[in-house]
């Protein structure tokens, strides 16, 4: 692997981790429930991107599979939380 690409991958991973920390702060001190849902959405997207960077650096497909699962469950949880905030229930009778 090229040295410049290696440094760029490390820098991108560091940026994603810092963005995850900022989203974690917003998750705990968010003034409204919508802010907390958005912070959770940002948190799982940055976690997925961190796993993708680990997969690129290590040339392993396991990280890509884990990132796909995080994206799937994160999307489903965002939809469920948005529906709960709008209607007060997730499963309609």
pLDDT tens digits for range 47-92: 999 999 999 888 888 999 999 999 999 999 988 888 888 887 767 7
**What pLDDT, in 10s, does the model give residues 19-38?**
999 999 999 998 988 888 89
Q: How far apart are CA 84 and CA 3, in angstroms?
A: 48
| Residues, the chain | 93
Whether 51 and 63 have beta carbons less than 8 Å apart is answered as yes
Top-confidence residue, 89 or 3? 3
């Amino acid at each position: 692997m090229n040295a410049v690409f290696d440094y760029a991958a490390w820098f991108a991973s560091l940026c994603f981790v810092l963005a995850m920390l900022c989203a974690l702060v917003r998750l705990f001190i968010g003034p409204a429930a919508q802010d907390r849902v958005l912070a959770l959405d940002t948190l799982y997207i940055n976690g997925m991107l961190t796993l993708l960077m680990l997969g690129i650096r290590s040339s392993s497909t396991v990280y890509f599979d884990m990132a796909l699962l995080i994206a799937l469950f994160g999307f489903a949880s965002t939809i469920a939380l948005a529906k709960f905030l709008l209607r007060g229930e997730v499963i309609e009778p």
